[in-house]
Structures are given as structure tokens and as C-alpha cells.
A and B are shown apart, each in its own frame.
Chain A
Amino acid sequence: MDYREMFIESLSTLTLNKLRTGLAILGIVIGIGSVIALVSLGQASQKAVESQIQSLGSNLLTVMPGSSQEGGVRGAAGARTTLTYDDAKAIETSDAITTVKSVSPEYSGRAQAVAGRNNINTSVMGVTPLYAKVRKIDISSGNFINDRDVTAVSKVAVLGPTTAADLFGEDVNPVGRTVRINSQTLSVIGVTVSKGGSGFQNQDDIIYVPLTTVQKQLFGVNYLSTISLEAESEEVMTEAQNQVGYLLLQRHKLDDPLEADFSIFSQQDILDTASQVTGTFTTLLSGVAAISLLVGGIGIMNVMLVTVTERTREIGLRKALGAKKKVVITQFLTESVILTFTGGLFGIILGIFVSYLFSAFMSFAFVVSPKSILLAFAVSAAIGIVFGLYPARKAANLEPIEALRYE
């Protein structure tokens, strides 16, 4: 009996009970479909996070204050107030530092911004002109903060496009208008180009103010929350990290690098961490989907067992007429593999459709990797064999006399 005939015969047997066949397939459709959809959802969110982080600049180093430690109590990372504007200036001017192109000292806080009747709670970022260069910020109208604004402690502000729209309305150019933050009136001198991105860190919902103004007028602090550094190239990132580290240790009068009251991250570190997080997320989702696939497989086994019981007489007859064990096993395995393979095919279509919906409604990238499709095919065939084997063996091992007597 060749395989083509076996296939046709199995197909015609399966179409005899369409409802049962359909329900058995449905389990696999849902299983495979959810694996494809969830894996592609995970990959899409991973891509979204990566592109968002990469849009911040690729040879970027970030210096953050370390955690505070007073009397043995360790506070939150970044809570220390040891990083100053002078540190930033020292990095810029020191002869020991050869691999850093530009330095951007920053202080960020949150405040209520008011313009006319509108007010929003947004992030206020104290920056110097180099920030625009380091973070690749472009201006859509007006100007960014310049050196004079910083030295003169000017009360000016540059708005992110989301903030501008929230405060002044869509399609209104806010340049020349004023915005009140912490009882200070600042005049708007520019609006930045949208950097895109949504979710956990919207880079368009922000107000840039000269660093000195933020420190002295808005928040009354004399330290920085971060210093962003642009390295000469991606190759010297590690060297830049070391040079800046030693300089800051020296300036903070620390001998042991382990006692450092600051930490330096590269963009790659952040990217790695974020990828790891989304990777875990993807694995978790796939795990959940795999469980539904397992349940689908058990459904197939159940249906095949019922089929074997129902067809006991037929199996007995086939064996009496000369069907060898191998033939009976192959016949039942063909049936279960057809079930799971068809389920796999429809599951892939369902999964692609669902991930398309995700991408359309949640502004995610539409990612369906060929690898996951191939894997889904392989897995569905494997499920057919694994879960079909027991019922098939049961059928093949039936004694023909017993089977023929079965009512």
C-alpha cells in the first residue's frame, strides 16, 4: 500500500465524521495559532524597544549617580547628589579624556506645566545645547537652547511635540507663547521633531529648559541626574567608559572603583537589559501557548482513541485480510498527522492574522519570522506522531479474532 493511497484513504475516513475531525483540528489550530501570534507579539515588542533605545543615539554613555549610603542604609540608585555640573565640565576639559566627543549634563524632574487653561504633568529636562547633538534632537520650529541661555539662566523652554499639542492644541505653533512651571514663567522658543515611541518612555512628552534655569529657578538643586556622553566612535566605548570612570573617581576622592558613587552605562548595556526583559517575556508567552498546544495534542489522542475503539471490527477485518502491524500503525498515524498538520496550517494562518491585528491596532511592527512558521509545521507534525502513536499501536496490536467479535 503506497503512501499516496494511504493518504487518500485516511482523508476519506476523516471526512466521514466532519464535526469530530473539525473539533480535533480546532485544538491544534488554537495551539499553533497562539504560539505564532504570541511569539510574533514578543518579537514585535522587542523590536519596538530596541528601535526606541537606538533612536537615543548609538555611541551614547550615561553617567548616573550611585545609590546613597548613610549609616549602612543603602538608598535607591541615582538618589545620590554627588554628580555636579563641574564634573561634566571637567570631563569636557580634562586632557586625560581623549575619546569623548561631547558632554551633556542633565537634570530631569517632573513638574506641572501650565499654559492658559491647559495643564499637564510632564518631564522637565534641564540641558545644555550639546544635548540636542548627543541625543539627536531636531527642531521643527524655533530654536533649541543655546550657550547664552545657559550662562544667562534664561527663562526659556523647548517643547516636545506631544507636550506642545497638549498645552496649546494641535497645529498651533507655540513659539513666542509662555508656559508656567513651578511658579516661573518661561517663554517657548522652539518645538522638537517627533522621535516617535510610545509606552514606557515617551520622548515627545517633555519640556527642555536650560540646565542652570532648571537647577536654580525651578527645582533649587545643585546636582545633576545624569551626564550623557557621546564617544568618538562605537569602538572606543569601553575606553571612554574607563577614562571617565577614573576621572570621576579622582574628582570624588575615591581610591577603590568598588566604592564608586556613580555608574556608567553604555547604550548597549541598556539595550541588552531591555532585550533580555522582552526575551523573557517572549519565552513566557510561548510557554503559555505551548501549554494550549499540548492540550490540543491530547485532544488529538483522545479522538484517535475513540476512533480506534469505534473501528475495532474494521481493524480486525483488515488484519484478517492480511494487513500487517506496520500497515495499521501507518494508517492511523497518517490520520493523526493529517489532523495535526491541517490544524498547523490553519493555526499558522490564524496566528499571522492575529499578529497582523496586533500590529495594526497597537502600532507594533508586523513581524512573523519564517523560523516560527517552520517550527510550527514541524511541531504540529511531531504532535501528530507523538499523540497518534499510542492509539495507532493499540489498533495494530488488536487480536483479529477479538476485534472481529467486538460489537
Chain B
Amino acid sequence: METVALSDVSFEIKKGEFVAIMGPSGSGKSTLMHILGALDKPTAGKYLLDSANVVEMSDDELAEVRNKKIGFIFQSYNLLPRTSALKNVMLPMVYAGVGKEERRIRAEKYLEMVGLKDRFYHTSNQLSGGQQQRVAIARGLAMNPSILLADEPTGNIASVQAAEIMDIFQKLNGEGHTIIMITHEADIAGYAKRIIHIKDGRIAADGTNNRQRKI
């Protein structure tokens, strides 16, 4: 017996969009996020990222796509334990072969951008949930990717801090960053410009969010 997680899912996201993908648990939105993040390949179909078909790529090519074109922001932050904020932000640049000096300059710039100017040398366990997620955003921005892909970015964070994260997202989107955010919370999805509803592995609704929330 084959379980179909996604079927007939077809959409296009343009540069500069801020999209929320919504759906209850088991709807297939996690699978969709894995495919969009080049973490997994669909058994059938196409995924064109910057007009390259991700489905045909080898493991190492996928690793390169994830490194250069996707900035991940996870629900549980996934920072390296016992490692400074600065080093965490530098990690994707290490794999891209960016020089040491350049890495540092960029890491500091992005940490400042998310408001952690005075937290460069704090390790993950010395930071609050919201601060950790902001380090993760800085890390996601480090390679200046085509997409910022956030999976339940506020799932583990208190609502005040969650609003701060959404504020950062809207600012980044204002600067031209493409953001795709997976969430099951309607109020969080409310910050996006466009909302795609997934239900039972199919697109239930896809449209512009006319009542975009602002901080």
C-alpha cells in the first residue's frame, strides 16, 4: 500500500513573495516543506528552483542547493550546542568555502540585522528561545539565499517574541527577500502576503492575504 502525501500540488512562488503554507497536522505540509527545502525529492513531478530541476540532482548537488539557495529556519532552531552565535551563523559559509574574514564580517552584519549586536559570543544555551530563533534567521540569511524557508518558526516561542520574529520577516520581505513559512497557526500566517492552504495532500486554497497583519 502506498501512502500519498502530496498530489496535484502545483504552484509558483515569485521572487519577493512572502508566502505562508497552512494546514492541519498530517495535511502534507511538512513533506511539501522538505521538497521545497531540497531535503527530499518527490517520487514524481518537478520542482524548479531558479529554473533548475531539483528532482534530477544528486545528493551532493542537493547539498549545494541547500547551502546556496535556501536559508532554513527550524521550529527547534537547530543551533550547534555550546557554540557561539557568531560561529553558528558562519557555519553555512564554512561549507560554501567563504574566506574567514568575509565570514566574520557577514555574520556580524546579519546578527546586527536581527538585533543581536551584543550577543555575538553567547552560546545557544545562554540565549532565550526568541534570541536563538533570531540567530537561526541570521544563519539563514548568511548565504543570501533565494528562499528563506521557515518551518513553524514561532512554534516554540512565547507570543511577544513571536511577534518580533514576524516583524523581522516582514522587514526582510520589504528588503526583497523571498520568504516561505510553514505554519498551522492562523494568526502567524496572517503576517504573510499570500496564504496557501493544504488539506489531505492537496491545495485547498491559494490567495492573497487581504488583511495582512502589521506590527
Contacts and interface: CB of A to CB of B under 8 A. Distances in A.
Interface of A: 1, 5, 16, 313-314, 317-327, 400-401, 404
B39 A321 contact: no
B63 interface: yes
A322 B96 contact: yes
Interface in B38-94: 39-40, 59-60, 63-64, 66-68, 72, 74, 78, 80-82, 91-92, 94
Question: Per DSSP, are chain A's interface residues mostly helix, strand or loop, or mixed?
Answer: helix
A321 B96 CA distance: 10
B68 A322 contact: yes
B130 interface: no
A317 B60 contact: no
Contacts of B91: 318, 321
A16 B80 CA distance: 13
Interface residues of B, number: 25
Contact of B97 (A1, A16, A320): A1
A321 B66 contact: yes
Question: Per DSSP, are chain B's interface residues mostly helix, strand or loop, or mixed?
Answer: helix
A320 B67 CA distance: 8
Contact of B34 (A5, A321, A323, A401): A401
Interface string B108-127: 00000000000000000000
A323 B63 contact: yes
Interface in B135-159: 139, 143
B78 A317 contact: yes
Contact of A322 (B34, B40, B78, B92): B92
B59 A325 contact: yes
A320 B59 contact: no
A316 to B, nearest CB: 8
Contacts of A401: 34, 39-40
A404 B94 contact: no
Contacts of A325: 59-60, 63
A322 B66 contact: yes
Given A322-B95, A325-B60, 6 more contacts: A16-B82, A318-B91, A320-B66, A321-B92, A324-B60, A325-B59
A216 to B, nearest CB: 91
Contact of A321 (B40, B60, B72, B97): B72
Best-buried of A313, A320, A322 by chain B (most CB within 10 Å): A322
A323 B93 CA distance: 10
Contacts of A322: 63-64, 66-68, 92, 95-96, 143
Given A322-B68, A323-B95, A404 B74 contact: yes
Contact of A324 (B64, B94, B139, B143): B64
A404 B66 contact: no
A328 to B, nearest CB: 10
B37 interface: yes
A400 B67 contact: no
B102 to A, nearest CB: 14
Nearest to A326: B60
A319 B34 contact: no
A191 to B, nearest CB: 75
Can you list the 6 inter-chain pairs with the closest CB atoms, starting with the nearest? Answer: A322-B67, A322-B95, A321-B92, A317-B78, A324-B63, A324-B60
Contacts of B94: 1, 5
B95 A321 contact: yes
Nearest to A396: B59
A330 to B, nearest CB: 12
B95 A320 contact: no
A398 to B, nearest CB: 11
Contacts of A321: 66-67, 72, 91-92, 95, 139
A406 B34 CA distance: 15
A325 B95 CA distance: 11
Contact of A327 (B74, B82, B95): B95
Nearest to A313: B78
A401 to B, nearest CB: 5
8 contacts: A317-B78, A318-B95, A319-B63, A322-B92, A324-B95, A325-B59, A325-B60, A400-B39
Contacts of A16: 82
Nearest to B97: A1
A320 B37 contact: yes
A322 B92 CA distance: 7
Best-buried of A1, A321, A324 by chain B (most CB within 10 Å): A321
A317 B151 CA distance: 14
Contacts of A404: 39, 74, 78
A387 B34 CA distance: 33
Contacts of A327: 95
Contacts of A5: 94
Contacts of A317: 78, 80
Nearest to A9: B94
Contacts of A320: 37, 39, 66, 72, 78
Contacts of B143: 322
Nearest to A321: B92
Contacts of B60: 324-326
A404 B139 CA distance: 17
A1 B95 contact: yes
Contacts of B96: 322
Contacts of A324: 59-60, 63-64, 95
A401 B63 CA distance: 13
Best-buried of A5, A320, A323 by chain B (most CB within 10 Å): A320
Nearest to A322: B67
B201 to A, nearest CB: 17
Contacts of A1: 94-95, 97
A76 B64 CA distance: 80
Nearest to B60: A324
